[in-house]
Amino acid sequence: MTETKHCAYDFTVGWAGDMNPSSRTDFVSLTLTGQGSGIYNNSKQWTRQSCWRKWKLLSRLQRNLILFTVALMLVCGIATNPSVTEHFRGLAVVAKEEGDHALKPVIHEVQPELDKLNRPLVPESPSEKQKRAAHKRGPPGLQNRLQKKGNVSDTQVEKEEGEKPLVNWRVAMIDQATERRTAKEAANKVDVPEVEQEGHSHKEPEVDRLEAVRDAFRHAWKGYKEFAWGKDELRPMSKSYGEWFGLGLTLIDALDTMWILNLKKEFEEAKTWVSTELSFDKDVDVNLFESTIRILGGLLSTYHLTGDTLFLDKAKDIGTRLMPAFNTPSKIPYSDVNIGKGTAHPPRWTSDSTVAEVTSIQLEFRELSRLTQDTRYQAAVDEVMQKVHKLEGKQDGLVPMFINTNSGQFTHLGMFTLGARADSYYEYLLKQWIQGGKKETALLEDYLQALEGVKKNLLKKSSPNRLTFVGELSHGRFSPKMDHLVCFLPGTLALGAHHGLPAEHMELAKQLMETCYQMYAQMETGLSPEIVHFNMHEGSIGDVDVKLADRHNLLRPETVESLFYLYRFTKDRKYRDWGWEILQNFNKYTKVSTGGYTSINNVRDPEYPSPRDKMESFFLGETLKYFYLLFSDDPELLSLDKYVFNTEAHPLPIWPTAQ
């Protein structure tokens, strides 16, 4: 086939004035010259025609490859855009955690109620607003952060006063009325000075903050009672429940909290359920550690506070049913027990137990022996501690995370942490020593040696603000990773110092307490993630980095627990202020309007923290209890010279015969 190189057209227009041809013809001749003439006129038409002709000359395979490459470049460009990436990551987290339980707020049903809740309970005058803004407290870094957040909230408040608020996910989820009320309580409470009256000073008691904790408990209990009564855990977003052991974990975990908070009505409701509904005669596997600290510990504590033998009888029942776990070749207990069949076994995937699990059940079983005069409970757990005391594989008093139930030896050697799987081993060394009257020197020796190991191997400073933190060690390699669980340590150190251990323990406790607080303060929601990584390189912009998978908050108690100990021993008001701020942020970002609180996926996104639809039993058993004790002015309310708390915040008495 040949291509025409040149073409020309003559267009002639002629006309005559009459019937006869004119002696002269008028015409216009137009000649169109084709592109093949070799003359280039730089026109767009020339370019389009040329490119199209070249495109048509390509084979189908070549054209497909070019189109694929362009499409791939476009997709990569979109994927690397920061805002788009963050959006899809957030969606991925929600999809992973929520599964089929997608959150579907019904806007039409919620809107009228929200309109009511968003109205201020009492209108504030401009002078009152200015006075409240002028009295923000806390360290300078915290003030700056709160002022920045305040700019946003102030704008939102002004908008809400002028127009009907828009409904978004967080508004549909969070009880805004309580958020405003607790914020007002903070302003009114924190700013009250000492007033001179007739020659003596009078200081306003912490009534408002204590009542705020009671309100938080009532709200959580409301959701549990309505949607999960007698079940293990509340799922507040879906208004349903989750089962783990099928033993009413949340209810039992919260018994002593209700007694301490003087919530008599709620306590009587729970007691009736324990009396009439709670049965351990079930064909169900339970975790030895979790059942001991939550159920056995909760029942023993409630018995001591109330004197009601109902709870002691139930404690003896569950304690006896857990004993088959110790029937192993090494006497290191299995992790799981079938409390109906009386059998025990390790997890399906391993014959190991975690060190924390087998060494953090001693307070409870020892106390059960003391109350029942049955020595087999204490004998079983004491033997575990004696074996661990003699084991090889430690490094400067630090223990590995796993121990084999067959051989009785440590496994996964060379890995050391004060976080998950090892944390409460160190806590119970000190607390058993205190519980038994400070007579068991081997426990104290192990505790002191472990602290030296922490200082030598795990204690570091961050950059740029030189926060003291506890990292991890893996085969000689240090990692600046710190679990929120490690925030039990400031309180434990302070407790030891109170009971006569070196004063430097208290100084270290204060440094670590500041670090744990900053894990909250440096997050956009003011709530700590589950895990942080500290920067150690000079020139770092911030002290804390948080990986996407570690941004969740489970309503954990460890930081509030340590704040309680530090305030009880130092009377430094900043610890109360820090705790008050944390409680307000729990109310702001985790409170569900229909009842309950939910753990969240993303503490770095205040607009949509992504609820996980789960309220852990320890939120009622530990977190709110420690808030209440932190704000209480009564040093005899669970005196730390008379009680020792188990790792689930259940107070057990220091043995009278040992004092």
Q: What is the DSSP string of 145-159?
A: HHHHHHHHHHHHHHH
Extract the runs of DSSP E, i.e. beta strands, from 11-103: none
> Residue with structure tokens 């007691």?
271
Non-local (6+) Cβ contacts of 4 within 8 A are 34, 36
For 267-282, the DSSP string reads HHHHHHHHHHT-----
pTM score: 0.72
Q: What is the CA radius of gyration of the chain?
A: 35
Taking the CA atoms of 584, 590, 591 and 596 in sequence, report the sign of the dihedral they define. negative
User: What pLDDT is stored for residue 84 in this prediction?
Assistant: 54
CA 25 to chain centroid, in Å, comes to 96
Q: Which helix (H) or strand (E) holds 91?
A: helix 82-98
Question: 410 has which bridge partners?
Answer: 403
C-alpha span between 438 and 577 (Å, rounded)? 33
**Residues labelled as active-site residues:** 290, 423, 530, 558
C-alpha to C-alpha distance for 170 and 561, rounded to whole angstroms: 28
**Strands 402-404, 285-287: pairing kind:** unpaired
For the chain (659 residues), the mean pLDDT of every run of 10, in chain order, is 43 42 44 43 52 76 85 79 55 45 36 37 39 37 38 36 37 41 44 40 61 98 98 98 97 98 98 98 97 98 98 98 98 98 95 97 98 98 98 97 97 97 98 97 98 98 96 97 98 98 98 98 98 92 95 98 98 98 98 98 97 98 98 96 98 81
Specify the DSSP element, H or E, that contains 251.
Answer: helix 249-253
